[in-house]
Amino acid sequence: MHITKLPSVNLYWPLNLIFFASLLGCIIFMNGSAFAAVNECINYECKDPIVNDPSLKLDIEYQGKDDHINYNYSKGNRVSLLTSVTQMAFLGDHDILMLNKNDGKVVRIVNHTMLPHPLLDLDVANKWERGLIGIAISKNATKVHVFLYYTESKTDGSDICKTIYCTKSKEPIQNKLYRYELKNNKLINPKFLFSGPKSNVASHIGGDMEIGPDNKLYIIIGDYHGFQNNSTTLADNFKNGSFPDGRAGILRLSQDGKVVGDGILGKKYPLNLYYAYGIRNGYGLDFDPVSHKLWDTENGPSFGDEVNLVEPGFNGGWTKVQGVWQVDSEGYELGMLSGAPEGLVDFGGKGKYSDPEFTLNMTTAPTALKFLNSDRLGTKYENDLFVASYKFGLIFHFDLNENRTGLRLPSTLNIISTDYKDIEDLVIAKGLGKITDMDVGPDGKLYILSKYYNKPTIFRISQSVETK
């Protein structure tokens, strides 16, 4: 195990905690036991984040100011389940756009420093998982387009949400997708592309976006807790459900917001936007640079976190299946499936259920999913898959099989049990805080966006000894 010390990481844990931790370490040492490096980690954060390959190192590309979340229980508001930073996207080498979830600001980081003024300041509802939550960038010879997915509101934080269910607002609050043009450090000329269903729910709204090899825009949308909120649709696998309204799927649009062809599952809008359906919620999308196939991460309730190969018309199985377990009407695990699941919606045979390529029977809260389309971490990692865990602050590393339709795993099963030790062989880095996004930079290195010791932080993983 290789531990790389990072520059300029100031810790803000209480001094008394450090004192007692040190005292405990001395006691253990005096009793003849070694103080293991893992004990330097507190929950999801390590004093010195750990990368498990000695040929790699961790550095900090950018770190912002301390950003404690203030909870205002007196007004019945919980600010967020996500951190204050959600996603990032590269404009160029050491040139990054980053999203501030709760204040709706799109900021630019150039050569490790944030520019003094945001490129855009949106008004967003921001409780729980609402806010400024998704970004994608598309470039051509004359224009740079920036796509943003956010919870549109008249003022920041105008929503009141004692739980994930919010009180009815006097103003329109809705999750929407816009396209902007980048000019002179400003995002201008907004073009409305898509609106999620109207809902008082502030969770399971997804948000990750990718521009595919076909130059189309792909966005994952959660189920808005539909089955718990009496909003059941065919896309949630309710055979007698209402017509799909954009929730519980991966949508595919042109960069102008138009339907691609006749649609995969049907011609009527918005069903004709669906590339995949039966998805509870997710924060990770990326295309395999070799096969050009789409993969995603999906979040289970207290079980069944997934990594999926997503073919056109993919049915993730929700609300009848999560992971490889049947689900009851309240979202609880019934038992492991034996054979193909029954009772799913298939849109006249156009939709097809597929088992996950990797399932965890524990809550890891997977977020970003990224293929490393580069050899800059060494050829052994080239075109491999990396998946981040928000809960544990770690990154999984996966090799793909020869035909790139599945993952090479340390056992014959694609299911990991509730024992944390079972995932150790797949972990390449840990102690990175609350990870929300990853990206491969123009330099071919892996970048990780996180809230680390209350600071918005972008880590960089590179080779210990540069070969190029």
CA distance 142 to 286: 25
pLDDT given at position 280: 97
The per-residue pLDDT for 420 is 57
User: pLDDT tens digits, residue range 76-115?
Assistant: 444 444 558 999 999 999 999 999 999 999 999 999 999 9
335-345 per-position pLDDT tens digit:
888 877 899 99
pLDDT at 229 (0 to 100): 81
Task: Work out the average pLDDT over 260-270.
Answer: 97
20 within domain boundaries: no
Res 441: pLDDT: 98
Range of lowest pLDDT (144-148, 169-173, 461-465): 169-173
Question: Residues 348-368: what's their mean pLDDT?
Answer: 93
Rounded CA-CA distance 37/277 in Å is 43
Segment 327-341 mean pLDDT: 85
Q: Is residue 51 part of a domain?
A: no
Position 44 in a domain: no
Residue 10 lies in a domain: no
With respect to residue 305, please indicate whether it lies within any of the assigned structural domains. Answer: yes
Residue 276 maps to a domain: yes
Confidence of residue 137 (pLDDT cuts 50, 70, 90): very high
In a domain, 17, yes or no: no
Spatial contact of 231 and 311, defined as CB atoms under 8 Å apart: no
Least confident range of 7-16, 68-77, 422-431, 448-457: 7-16
120 has pLDDT over 70: yes
Q: Which domain holds residue 385?
A: 61-463
| pLDDT on residue 290 | 98
Contacts of 252 (CB under 8 A, 6+ apart): 212, 216, 217, 218, 260, 264, 273, 274, 275
The CATH number given to whatever domain includes residue 397 is: 2.120.10.30
Please give the average per-residue pLDDT across 157-167, as a whole number. 94
**pLDDT of the residue at 30:** 33
| Strands laid side by side in the 284-287 sheet | 284-287, 294-298, 305-310, 358-360, 415-416
Q: What is the pTM of this model?
A: 0.89
Q: Can you tell me the distance from the alpha carbon of 88 to that of 437, in angstroms, rounded to the nearest whole number?
A: 7
pLDDT at 360: 87
Higher pLDDT, 331 or 147: 147
Average pLDDT, stretch 291-311? Answer: 96
259: Cβ contacts below 8 Å, ≥ 6 apart: 253, 269, 272, 273
For residue 374, pLDDT over 60 is answered with: yes
Residues 23-33 as b or e (16 or more Cβ within 10 Å = b): eebeeeeeeee
Does residue 368 sit within a domain?
yes
| pLDDT computed for residue 228 by the predictor | 83
Alpha-carbon distance of 180 to 337, in angstroms, equals 45
Tell me what pLDDT residue 419 has.
56
Distance CA 298, CA 309 (A): 11
Domain count, the chain: 1
Per-residue model confidence as pLDDT tens digits over 435-445: 999 999 999 99
Is it the case that residue 223 has pLDDT exceeding 90?
A: yes
Confidence bin at 227 (pLDDT 50/70/90) = confident
Residue 212 has pLDDT above 60, yes or no: yes
- Average model confidence (pLDDT) for the chain? 87
